[in-house]
Structure 1
């Protein structure tokens, strides 16, 4: 049986409230948590994007949960800064922090004014950044001149006894196969079972031996009508094929693209339900794919009803 965690969505909730939410998630019985790292939300209705690294320090200091975030080194963040930031959290909170390193999204990275590169260049940049971060975590004084990343005589002085795990986020078998070469584990998001199985298989078949994690978007409410309304209001900008998710630039652009998405399409990206039993049944299907960790993201802005339901019914049912 996998461990179950809480996903803290900076795009949707002000950081002060989100800190209270993750504290309530611990009291509710979640084993761990993770958060997003955005400069902009997915839609203007979400209306938030707190700085993840400031929040992570507060969350780790005020809970006993293991915590992680998904980060894109190379444009908005220089990888040496990611190495320093992640080393600091791992030194302060041993064994409790991980970071998933991805190739990024234009909505967050365009703010630097640099050209948004194609997927092949972003993947090369990511892999250079991973090398830089690992070498800095080893204590090396590093000068590095890659095609996309340059580092000049950098050294991270405050190092943890054990470096944080570097996880590979993957939304396709190709990305999962490449992550198998460098990542300490894999994380993906819920989609149809066949596509998820292909991602897991690509990681394992190419030598990946680390932990498998899954983030599941959920909208659960007392009625299906309420659950659909929550999903439509907060998560209708998500069920799109590439290149829309990674190349679209602003929340306003996403709102234009997503305004006519039908409920059936939204349900491809969100488990929409009025039933704890129905949600448990869906999560059991995901468990069969071999995930070690499952992070639940209730897509509403008010997390309190979900966290109370998780404590009272959902987590006991999952562990029963």
Structure 2
């Protein structure tokens, strides 16, 4: 079953506003809410950084939808704490939450004072973290002495069903690596040729795994405004996965994005005033095998975007 989702960006809006948008999204016909989990935002200006886990308790009580959160289980958190948070939410809310586990970004994880390691170490740490969380969800007492240290940890409140763990991947190499240990993959909208390689790499290692995609879009009533708002709201986020993992402070992103041009945004963001463009995009990703397609309107105007989706786009997919 295909679910079309609305993405909650804690880096861009206050938790209070995001709760209101979630309630509008639920009434508009969205079937899924996905959330980011940051300590720092992407920019110094016009930004927020609410705590996603507090927010999820309120949001899951407010609307009866499926939720997904993109998170890094270590080192800012200990994976046992994430396992406990997920178990608690899924015990209260009928297993409506899944997580997408990533290897992290320096801008969030550096606050812990732990040296930021290379990608291979981060990947190894992530795989260990997921294994620890799954053992805890099984009710096991867990002790581990790898990258992650755990001593006699056990959850006494278990989730109602085994939570799904998706792996976050921006490249075909990462997609191939995470396929064997994940329940699914989450990626973002790349050019079609690159995206097809990411999909093929994942499916080769996990043919039955679920596939989710977060699509950056910018909707406004005229194209120039949509382009301008996309550039203002999201230019710091198109610098490339490796750079984005290594920069350690919002001001570094502001500095790095000084030379991003408005026309550069089109490779990374669907910028359109036409509902048909959003319908075609969703159909394309359904045809590629994605069952969770989340739209992230990267500009400030969420109300008009949600209204357009309710009136013009989501009715097309109500039978899914």
TM-score (normalised: structure 1): 0.96
Please give the residue correspondences for 1:241-260 in structure 2 after superposition, counting only pairs within 5 Å. 241-260=240-259
SS of 1:6's equivalent in the other structure is: strand
Write the distance in 2 (CA, Å) between the matches of 1:74 and 1:184: 19
SS of 1:316's equivalent in the other structure is: helix
Q: Which runs of 5 or more structure 2 residues have no equivalent in the other structure? A: none
Match of 1:48 in 2: 48
Can you list the C-alpha shifts for 1:161-212, whole angstroms capped at 9, x where unaligned?
3121111111111111121111111111001011111111111101342211
Are the equivalent residues in 2 in contact too, given 1:74–1:129 (CA < 8 A)? yes
Match of 2:209 in 1: 210
Are the equivalent residues in 1 in contact too, given 2:44–2:254 (CA < 8 A)? yes
Write the distance in 2 (CA, Å) between the matches of 1:13 and 1:314: 24
What's the CA shift for 1:68? 1.2
Write the distance in 2 (CA, Å) between the matches of 1:258 and 1:283: 29
What's the CA shift for 1:242? 4.0
Are the equivalent residues in 2 in contact too, given 1:238–1:269 (CA < 8 A)? no
Question: CA 1:53–1:124 in structure 2 vs 1: closer, same or farther (change >3 Å)?
Answer: same
What's the CA shift for 1:275? 1.1
Write the distance in 2 (CA, Å) between the matches of 1:167 and 1:310: 26
Write the distance in 1 (CA, Å) between the matches of 2:206 and 2:164: 17
Are the equivalent residues in 2 in contact too, given 1:219–1:299 (CA < 8 A)? yes
Q: Which runs of 5 or more structure 1 residues have no equivalent in the other structure? A: none
Please give the residue correspondences for 1:1-320 in structure 2 after superposition, counting only pairs within 5 Å. 2-146=2-146, 148-319=147-318
Write the distance in 1 (CA, Å) between the matches of 2:191 and 2:14: 31
Write the distance in 2 (CA, Å) between the matches of 1:113 and 1:302: 36
Deviates more, 1:126-135 or 1:302-311: 302-311
Deviates more, 1:161-170 or 1:228-237: 161-170
SS of 1:55's equivalent in the other structure is: helix
Write the distance in 2 (CA, Å) between the matches of 1:265 and 1:286: 22
Write the distance in 2 (CA, Å) between the matches of 1:290 and 1:68: 18
Write the distance in 2 (CA, Å) between the matches of 1:298 and 1:25: 12
SS of 1:257's equivalent in the other structure is: helix
Can you list the C-alpha shifts for 1:73-118, whole angstroms capped at 9, x where unaligned?
1210101101101111111111311011110001110111111111
Write the distance in 1 (CA, Å) between the matches of 2:224 and 2:45: 19
Write the distance in 1 (CA, Å) between the matches of 2:267 and 2:317: 22
Write the distance in 2 (CA, Å) between the matches of 1:281 and 1:242: 27
Are the equivalent residues in 1 in contact too, given 2:95–2:159 (CA < 8 A)? no
Write the distance in 2 (CA, Å) between the matches of 1:145 and 1:255: 39
Are the equivalent residues in 1 in contact too, given 2:37–2:52 (CA < 8 A)? yes
Deviates more, 1:210-219 or 1:277-286: 277-286
SS of 2:23's equivalent in the other structure is: helix
TM-score (normalised: structure 2): 0.96
SS of 2:254's equivalent in the other structure is: helix
Backbone CA RMSD of aligned residues: 1.3
